[in-house]
Structure 1
Amino acid sequence: MLQIWLHIWVGTVIVFLVSRNIVSLDDSTKSILAGLNESCKNTTCLPGLQCNKNYICKVESDTCMSYRWSDNLWKPSCDEDGTWSAVQCKGEQLHGRCFCYNTNGSRIFGWSWWHSAGNMTCACSRRRDTLKNQGRENVTLHCSEDGNYEKLQCDSGLCWCVDPQTGEPTERAYPESMMTHLSCYDKDKIGSQYLRLCESMHIARLEVIDKLERHGRLYAHIDTVNCDGDGSYAYYSLNGSIVYCLWKNGMRIDLYQTPLSSILTVNCNCARDSYIYRQANLTFSLQCQSNGNYKPEQTSNGYPFCVDSDGYATTTLGSFGETLICKE
């Protein structure tokens, strides 16, 4: 795997460092694969391209490999099967960040500063994502902030210790009432109850709804509680017809809000990142939309550039005072 580092200096304040991964192919492989806009009638296309009905190689849509052919500054890391790698890093190593992604390229719970991400696997976050996609709502696996497993895990009344990077059990399981006997139990971190406040409310809600349904009441209304992979509050809450951005403790973040009709586009990444940077004593210079997302177009000293949903540059600088058309 060959890496090319591209440095883009924006004024004197913001620095972007983009890692571009390029598949290395030997000469014999290159000779039988067709590139962009080349004929694929008697051969196959290079990774990230697909052969269209006219036998011409065109960029695949929304695949990890397809980014290698785009003009987006950031190129994701792809696994050998062409799916998204679990850990995706953006920015520069000193203050850049790494995020957890599922195989389809959607960001999921878990992040770390790049300089601290050496042991980051996102294994727990991916497992939770898989279970939820299978329809399980009462997932109680606890992930650390970086998407790895916490050492103590409990589920279905049993508790056990695991390897943080893989989730593999390291000792026998005990009933939850006896979790204090496990070597990974930490009273100061866990206390007397495994479930955290948010997920306790979430699990209780599911149990009440289940009981009501078994008694014939199918449409009970109980306020939803959204929790993250570490048991803390997720990024948003609903109050009537308004969506509010939340911090991990359940408190609203400033005045970031949006109508319920826009809930599918809300991620509150910018609102939450403003807190994260503040806690790290770092300057946060990007602008947020009123719904807590990043504004797609940002500026530095009057020069515009586009950013992705995580706030990282996707384009080079435009002309001074120019208005760019950035992807939401």
Structure 2
Amino acid sequence: SLYEKEFRKKCGQIFIDNFCEHVQCLSIESCPDGFELIENIVGRKCCPACVKLLDENDECIPESMSNSNDDQIERCKNGMICDHMEKRCRLPNIEQSSIQPPCLREYHNRWMVRQNKKFYIMSANNAMKSFFPIQYAYEQFLPHCTFEGNYSPKQPSRNKAYCVNPNDGKPTFGIIDSHRSINQTCKCSQIMQDKLALAIDRLNPSKKDIKLDKVITEFNSDTHMKCKFSGNFQEVQCINGTCLCVDEKNGQPLLDPKEILNLDWARKNAKILYQPSQPKYIRWESAVVYGALNRLVCFDEENQKKKLSDKPIEKSYEEECFTEVHRSNKMVNHFAKKGTTLDGLTNTKCGFDDNYFRVQCPDAACTCHDPDGVPIAPYRADSTLSQEMDCRCALEEYLSKTGKLPVGILRCNGMGNFKPMQCSSNGQICYCIDNNGARISERFLTENIQNFKLKTSGNYHIEDLCQIMQNTLSVTNNQLIQGDEQFCYDPLKKTFKLCDEPSVDHIFMN
């Protein structure tokens, strides 16, 4: 632009290339209802802003017709475009579902089924044309996607916000109460996931991968950046005996005390951080040796002193899980350099916050664990099922019961995963959920489905219908629902497909 050309003349290329480093952005503590905090969207793409993200079919203003450019705070979300003819948000190339990014496909189908769509169970008797409807939930979880169409690393839902893999939307590490998620970025979780994507999933101790084992051992034998339980960076990072403060949102070092005191939490605790009349309480240092850790302005004594180890052999700032894994992996790595292989020292897995990972497979069985390493009873499974066991339901059950995450307790299966069908009233009234615990159907009576099943020769479990309903809205479904189409389940072929709305005469009535 002419603005940038003029800037280059006055300030030089180096300043232009690092322009955002010289921009001071306003602090945003929260956004009003209907708006979302988006990074790097105003101030020449340097600063965050509260943006109203428009849904599919919402009226919009094409960018070429907008006068606000960078300062525009209304735009189509999830990689959709503003149609120049209709001036409404829509998916690009809606007819070509195969080229749609996975996040856009899932978003579109979830958005469409909110519009009074039903999941129809077809008759298993060819001589009887009948359909049983299960209403999709209006309050569907809608995935958050980047403007490029990938999954946003942070996925906020009704009562929680969690971190996911941007490529497939599967949860990785990091969860927090949605009311306290304004500063959650999942950047630490994303970086760690890129480094250890294979390691965290490979829990079966019977499977060996020499090359991957070497990567894991070398990683755990050295110090690395630590994440918070939310998926952000821990404010205090210690490497090789030196500790410093970092920005929890991006992990960048905070070396200027004034910069630290501009943070929300620092302003709220200003009396603790700076008391001129009591010099011994002044904590201005932003980088110190380990022994002076409590003088860091970002050090929270009440919550973090439990991590301090004063053992004479090793002074460290770490969680119990990492202490165990670091010591054994350091030994394995040391002997490996000398040509000696050590096996079986530990099978413990740590999460990205260096606490115990929720799934542990120390031997032939896998169990669910809380962050302190205590088993969450009664969830366990054979280690051959480790890839199917995620323990996320068991972990949320633990977090809810201990008051650390205010989510409703859902029913888990034996492996600690969410049960697709959630019921009350002795199993008579049920609804379906997705694999993240979000509701996808309205309530239904199991007795009615059982009657339909008997009268139409159905050979399926009612619980399985929720799993199939999950699949219609999953990232793996390449079918885009449009217009008056519905999803129908064919029990003879044991698969679902897009179908036309059945006539009233063919809908099963009790």
Pairwise TM-score range, normalised by the shorter structure: 0.7 to 0.9
Equivalent residues of 2:80, 2:90 under 8 A apart: no
Change (3 A) 1:270 1:34: closer
CA–CA distance in structure 1, aligned partners of residues 440 and 150 of structure 2: 21
Q: Distance in 2 between matches of 1:284 and 1:34?
A: 34
Shift in Å, 1:201: 0.8
User: Is the partner of 2:381 in helix, strand or coil?
Assistant: strand
Please give the per-residue CA displacement for 1:179-223, whole angstroms capped at 9, x wherever unaligned. 445332344413343011100111112111112212322352222
In 1, distance between residues paired with 2:228 and 2:180?
13
2:148 corresponding residue in structure 1: 81
CA deviation string 1:24-66 (max 9, x = no partner): 64342769x997xxxxxxxx714xxxxxxxxx51255771111
Tell me the residue number matched to 2:183: 119
Which residue does 1:106 correspond to in 2? 170
**2:299 maps to which of 182, 185, 188:** 185
- 1:125-164 alignment, distance < 5 Å: 125-133=189-197, 135=215, 137-138=219-220, 140-164=224-248
Partner of 2:96: 57
For 1:45, which of 82, 93, 101 is the aligned residue?
93
**Residue-by-residue CA offset, 1:236-278 (whole Å, 9 max, x unaligned):** 2223200011111111111210001100111111111111121
Corresponding position of 2:117: none
Contact 1:242 1:257 in 2 (8 A): yes
Q: Counterpart of 1:2?
A: 54
Distance 1:277 1:240, change over 3 A: same
Root mean square deviation, CA, Å: 3.1
Cα 1:155/1:298, change in 2 over 3 Å? same
Greater per-residue helix proportion: 2
Say which is worse superposed, 211-220 or 267-276, in terms of deviation.
211-220
Give the secondary-structure state (helix, strand or coil) at the position aligned to 1:45. coil
- Shift of residue 22, structure 1, vs aligned partner: 6.3
Question: Matches of 1:29 and 1:157 in 2, distance apart?
Answer: 61
Distance (whole Å) between structure 1 residues aligned to residue 406 and residue 253 of structure 2: 38
Counterpart amino acid of residue 212 in structure 1: F
Unaligned runs of 5+ in 2: 1-52, 57-75, 114-139, 199-214, 256-285, 310-315, 450-461, 472-510
CA pair 21-80 structure 1, distance change in 2 beyond 3 A: closer
Q: Number of matched residues?
A: 291
Equivalent in the alignment of 2:347: 224
Contact 2:163 2:175 in 1 (8 A): yes
Tell me if structure 2 keeps the 8 A contact 1:89–1:97: yes
Do the aligned residues in 2 keep the contact of 1:142 with 1:231 (CA within 8 Å)? yes
What CA distance in whole angstroms lies between the structure 2 residues aligned with 1:102 and 1:176?
A: 34
Aligned equivalent of 2:251, options 141, 147, 167: 167
Three-state SS of the structure 2 residue aligned to 1:66 is helix
- SS in structure 1 opposite 2:386? helix
Structure-1 separation of matches of 2:78 and 2:362: 46
| Contact residue 97 and residue 105 of structure 2 kept, 8 A | no
Amino acid at match of 1:107: P
The residue aligned with 1:255 is 378
Largest Rg, 1 or 2: 2
Return the offset for 1:88: 0.6
Counterparts in 2 of 1:125 and 1:282: CA distance versus 1, 3 Å: closer
User: Residue in 1 aligned with 2:318?
Assistant: 195
- Could you say if the C-alpha distance between residues 184 and 259 of structure 1 is closer, same or farther in structure 2, counting changes exceeding 3 Å? same
Letter in 1 for 2:152: S
Q: Aligned equivalents of 2:106 and 2:85: distance in 1?
A: 21
Amino acid at match of 1:288: C
Q: Offset at 1:109?
A: 1.6
The one-letter amino acid paired with 1:306 is C
| Structure 2 counterpart of 1:206 | 329
Is the aligned partner of 1:316 residue 2:380?
A: no
Aligned partners of 2:142 and 2:230: how far apart in 1? 21
- Residue type of the partner of 2:170? S
Q: Which residue of 1 aligns with 2:411?
A: 287
Cα offset, 1:133, TM superposition: 4.2
| In 2: Cα distance, 1:176 partner to 1:251 partner | 29
Cα contact 2:358–2:369 (8 A) shared by 1? yes
Of the two structures, which has the highest relative contact order with CA contacts closer than 8 Å and spacing of 6 or more? 2
Read off the aligned partner of 1:184 and give its amino acid letter. Answer: C
The structural deviation recorded for 1:147 is 1.7
TM-score relative to the length of structure 1: 0.77
User: 1:285/1:129 Cα in 2 relative to 1: closer, same or farther (>3 Å)?
Assistant: closer
Structure 1 unpaired stretches of 5+: 5-19, 36-43, 47-55
Equivalent-residue separation in structure 1 for 2:151 and 2:239 (angstroms):
28
Q: Is the 8 A contact 2:153 2:165 kept in 1?
A: yes
The answer to which of 153-162 and 56-65 deviates more is 56-65
2:78 aligned with 1:26, yes or no?
no
The aligned counterpart of 1:305 is 431
2:154/2:184 contact within 8 Å kept = yes
Residue matched to 1:10: none
Shift of 1:300: 4.2
* TM-score normalized with structure 2 length: 0.51
Change (3 A) 1:316 1:21: farther
Q: Residues of 1 paired with 2:252 and 2:438: CA distance?
A: 34
